[in-house]
Amino acid sequence: MELRHLRYFIAVAEELNFTRAAKKLHTAQPSLSQQIKDLEDYIGSTLLERNKRRVSLTKAGEVFLQQARIILDNAEKAKKMARKAAQEQIVLTIGFVPSAEVKVLPEVIPVFRLSHPEAKVELISLFNPKQEEELLQGDIDVAFMRLPIKSDYIDFKVILNEPLVVLMPANHRLRYCEKISVEDLHGENFIIPDPTQSGILQQIIENYFNEHNVSPNIIQTANNMLLILNMVSLNLGCAIVPFYITSIMTDAVVCRPLSGYSPTIELIMAWRKDHTSELLSHLIDIVENKYL
């Protein structure tokens, strides 16, 4: 019995029609019928009842169908895992949020490439929730992201603690202030990050305003920092953003630090606890030596 026998049987069992199953499998109907007969001979039991009008599963066929699907699913998983194991020594896939793109990757990737010139580094920009999901699925090896982390299967280290600053249009009334008091933001039109995409950032901003009994006029949520930057440049309102924004902002906006206590946000490096990648281990060492 081979995997093709299972595929043929599943196709017939799902279609309950040899003609349609043969078309689906891109094979001739007589050949398909022979493959099913060979399978039944091997099993020693009739799996399909067929006559001129209909095809139906026997009791044995129903049991076999369930197990055949599991076998094919496991075979596909085994193939993917084997391919990943063969490649993991030469490929490192990194997920990141914009802060890491500006503040971390330019510092650590060149160092990593010097030590591993043979390695292929794949960089994938992902929203925060997607990073944890893809880490758990094994689609990325490491994530530079924001908290929170929900899974117990992921380990992480805090590598940066960025101050938050006020982003405002270049013609804003507060543009001449060296620092911005939180009370000055009361009633101001404000753009905030989407809590479903920004990790803990939105909650930090909300808590900061609540602690000072300040209520800005929230006019818009935005699912990424570039959109916030563009909205502020269009004079739609102000925003509180991580300091890295100063590296990419245009002349249409200005940034000012907050006076007094200034909230901060952590950038973390996260990976699966059960990882076996030597490339990832070396990247972790590089980041720790650079930032910790």
Condensed to tens digits (0 to 9), the pLDDT of residues 162-175 reads 999 999 999 999 99
When pLDDT is cut at 50, 70 and 90, the band that residue 110 belongs to is very high
Helix (H, G, I), strand (E, B) or coil at 142: strand
Helix, strand, coil share of the chain (percent; to 5) = 45, 25, 30
**Residue 81, pLDDT score:** 77
**Residue 180, pLDDT score:** 97
Higher per-residue pLDDT: 217 or 87: 217
Write down the CATH number for the domain with range 3-74: 1.10.10.10
Q: Which residues of 161-197 are buried (b: 16+ CB within 10 A; e: fewer)?
A: ebebbbbbbeebebeebeebebebbeebbbbbbbeeb
Q: Is the pLDDT of residue 29 over 60?
A: yes
**Residue 52, pLDDT score:** 75
Give the H/E segment covering residue 156. Answer: strand 154-169
Q: Is the pLDDT of residue 27 over 70?
A: yes
The CATH number for 160-265, chosen from 3.30.420.40, 3.40.50.300, 3.40.190.290, 1.10.10.10, is 3.40.190.290
CATH fold, domain 86-157+267-291, is D-Maltodextrin-Binding Protein; domain 2 (3.40.190)
Peptide bond into 169 cis (omega under 30): no
**Ramachandran angles phi, psi of 253, nearest 5°:** -135, 165
When pLDDT is cut at 50, 70 and 90, the band that residue 89 belongs to is low
Q: Is the pLDDT of residue 191 over 60?
A: yes
Where in the chain is CATH 3.40.190.10? Answer: 86-157+267-291
Where in the chain is CATH 1.10.10.10? Answer: 3-74
Question: For a pLDDT cut of 70, what percent of the chain falls above it?
Answer: 98
User: Beta-carbon neighbour count of residue 116 at 10 Å?
Assistant: 17
Tell me the average pLDDT of the chain. Answer: 92
Question: For a pLDDT cut of 90, what percent of the chain falls above it?
Answer: 64
Q: Is the pLDDT of residue 160 over 90?
A: yes
Q: Is the pLDDT of residue 84 over 80?
A: no
Give the closest residue to 101 by CA, choosing from 248, 284, 255.
248
**Residue 86, pLDDT score:** 64
Where in the chain is CATH 3.40.190.290? Answer: 160-265
When pLDDT is cut at 50, 70 and 90, the band that residue 258 belongs to is very high
When pLDDT is cut at 50, 70 and 90, the band that residue 255 belongs to is very high
User: Beta-carbon neighbour count of residue 258 at 10 Å?
Assistant: 19
**Residue 25, pLDDT score:** 87
